[in-house]
Structure 1
Amino acid sequence: MASDQEKDLTDPDRADSTAPLPTPATANGRDGLAALLARPARALIALDFDGTLAPIVPDPEKARAHPDALPALTALAPKVAAVAVITGRPADVAVRYGGFAGVPGLEHLVVLGHYGAERWDAVRGEVTAPDPHPGVAAVRAELPGILEANGAATGTWTEDKGHAVAVHTRRAADPQGTFEALRNPLADLAVRNGLIVEPGRMVLELRPPGMDKGVALSEYVRELGAECVLYAGDDLGDLPAYAAVDKLRSDGTPGLLVCSGSEEVTELSERADVVVDGPAGVVRLLRAIADAAG
């Protein structure tokens, strides 16, 4: 059950009002929030996209940022060192679905797509990216046969991300059963082609090793010289970023871990300093930080 503070942040009736900041559940989290508010201009705000800024929907192509996300980000971004959206999606897709391009006040925004393999920044307005791993093309060719052989040719949806391929089971007749049935076959397919499988909320993503949100976050913190970091996520793919924040905290850089809570994934809420109720709660937290940062 949400605390009174979490209810304040997630009450739909408070969407356009100032919500109080929550008290983080851990000492590290309280230190992280205090450091962020004391030195916002030296802080990095890092956010997952799907499930964190954008509600999860049955068709991933129809995902869009929460309607209050842009106002919250434009209120917060000028007050901090940078806002980074770290996502498994291609960077240009996250930019389109988020509506980030050409928005006044978001000059400090960077999108790290494909777990950091791609980068878009609001100042330059263009994506930089390396060539795709050759194993992705091989997986793309083999995948239809694998799905057919495992009775998953219908009801699943394959998302080609360029640098990765994801199989979504949310629209299958038995989403969880299909997800479990595909785990081992897709893991074998990934291994044969030098890739790994990243499980998520009714999705199995095949991507190159060494690409994860923890690496992307750590590298950007170093590049930026950030003295404090907030990371918000909702899914298993965000756990490496959580681990990166834990490492930064152990090395003396304050950090705050935020979970965009859901009933589908509990691993993040068990480790987070602050749990809010989905993207609406994340947006209200960002607005509250912007208001408190002065």
Structure 2
Amino acid sequence: MEFISAEAENRYAALVRALAESVIGLDMDGTLSPIVEDPTQARIHADAPEVLVALAEVVKAIAIITGRPARQALALGGLDAVGEAIGEHGKELHVFGQYGNERWSSTSRRIISPRPPRGLGNFLRSLPSTLRRADAFDAFVEEKGLAVAIHTRRLPDAEAAFERLSKPLADLAAANDLTVEPGRSVIEVRAPGTNKGDAVRRVAREQQAGGFLFAGDDLGDVEAFAAVGELRDAGMPTLLVCSSSSEQGALRDLADIAVDGPDGVLDLLRQLTADAADTRL
């Protein structure tokens, strides 16, 4: 764990004092799950369920806010069982899927989801020719129901393919009233209007949070960081955590703490749990 700014240690200490009233917000891929070539196989870290259940004893709620479909996040993370265990402590696990467009909680145990955006079907029909023209026809296309993600990680030069695709996909998305969300070797196209920042604001309001931590790893988490910044400006104890990688350092300058991927995130959550217990002594 690396404190990035002079204020970071004080912010950490303030959050520990407010932890019982705090919401812990966590991205999934690159934060709870190691990044893998096949995104459909990105299981959360083996230690994550135990760490999350222990953390639930000392916080108000836990929210996983991910670009993945909620159903997929539940399956890959075993989150239904995690939510049940958290419920035994009288706490609640929330899963916001597809950047907050979908919602599940361990209390309601059902997914609430809107209809797919109108332009998505036309985007998908035009996508193969767009990939072909950008010499990226073998990019992995992940259909998510409310969005589509184009992954370049498997291509021979993932970074170059990402650059070639960025403008053509942005143009195709704009022509179909869709928005583009770039990530780590992935370009996601979805309906405009909802982002991870909206999910942060919503869960903070609903839970009447007295503190908020958010941990993320790439550009899709910038809006969540901004929303936590708004809570900070309003006087709430907050902490921003960057799950660092060699691929994406965009969040580092915005963060209070940098950790080394999912292993580092879980170590930080363990430390928070231990420090909260110490304050009760």
**Structures share fold, TM-score greater than 0.5:** yes
Q: Deviations over 1:41-63 (max 9, x none)?
A: 21000000000000000110110
Determine whether 1:85 maps to 2:85. Answer: no
Structure 1 range deviating more: 122-131 or 173-182: 122-131
Specify the alignment match of 1:105 in structure 2: 85
Identical columns (%) = 47
3-state SS, counterpart of residue 115 of structure 2: coil
Task: List per-residue Cα deviations over 1:27-86 (Å, max 9, x = no partner).
Answer: 2x4444233322322100000000000000011011010111111101001221110000
1:23 touches 1:30 (CA, 8 Å); kept in 2? yes
Superposed displacement of residue 148, structure 1: 1.8
Cα 1:26–1:83 shift into 2, 3 Å: farther
1:182 aligns with 2:165: yes
In structure 2, the partner of 1:228 is 211
Q: What residue is the counterpart of 1:215 in the other structure?
A: 198
- CA deviation map 1:258-292 (0-9, x unaligned): 01000111121122111010000001111111121
CA RMSD of aligned residues (A): 1.4
- Correspondent of 1:246 among 229, 234, 257: 229
Give CA-to-partner distance per residue, 1:62-120, whole Å, 9 cap, x none: 10101111111010012211100000110111111111112343231110001111011
| Residue in 2 that maps onto 1:70 | 49
Distance 1:24 1:80, change over 3 A: farther
Report the more deviating stretch, 51-60 or 261-270: 261-270
Q: Contact 1:32/1:228 (CA < 8 Å) preserved in 2?
A: no
Deviation at 1:24, TM superposition (A): 6.3
Partner of 1:25: 5
Q: CA deviation at 1:146?
A: 1.2
Aligned amino acid, residue 42 of structure 2: A
The match for 1:49 is 28
Counterpart of 1:197 in 2: which secondary structure?
strand
- In the alignment, does 2:17 pair up with 1:38? yes
The number of equivalent residue pairs is 272
TM-superposed deviation, 1:222 = 1.0
Gap runs ≥5 in structure 1: 1-5, 7-21
Aligned with 2:151 (options 161, 168, 180): 168
Amino acid at match of 2:60: A
Question: Which of 115, 120, 129 is 1:145 aligned to?
Answer: 129
CA contact (8 A) 1:75 1:105 kept: no
Equivalents in 1 of 2:116, 2:155: separation in Å? Answer: 29
1:190-210 CA deviation, whole Å, 9 max, x = no partner? 000001111110000111111
Secondary structure, aligned partner of 1:52: coil
Q: 2:115 aligns with which of 108, 131, 154?
A: 131
What is the distance in 1 between the residues matched to 2:206 and 2:119? 29
The normalised TM-score by structure 2 is 0.93
Amino acid at match of 2:269: L
Structure 2 counterpart of 1:99, which letter?
Answer: G
Runs of 4+ in 1 over 2 A off after TM superposition: 22-26, 29-36, 102-107
Distance between the aligned counterparts of 1:248 and 1:81, measured in 2? 16
| Aligned residue number for residue 18 of structure 1 | none
Letter in 2 for 1:252: G
Give 1:251 deviation, angstroms. 1.1
Structure 2: gaps spanning 5 or more residues: none
Amino acid at match of 2:101: A
SS at match of 1:176: helix
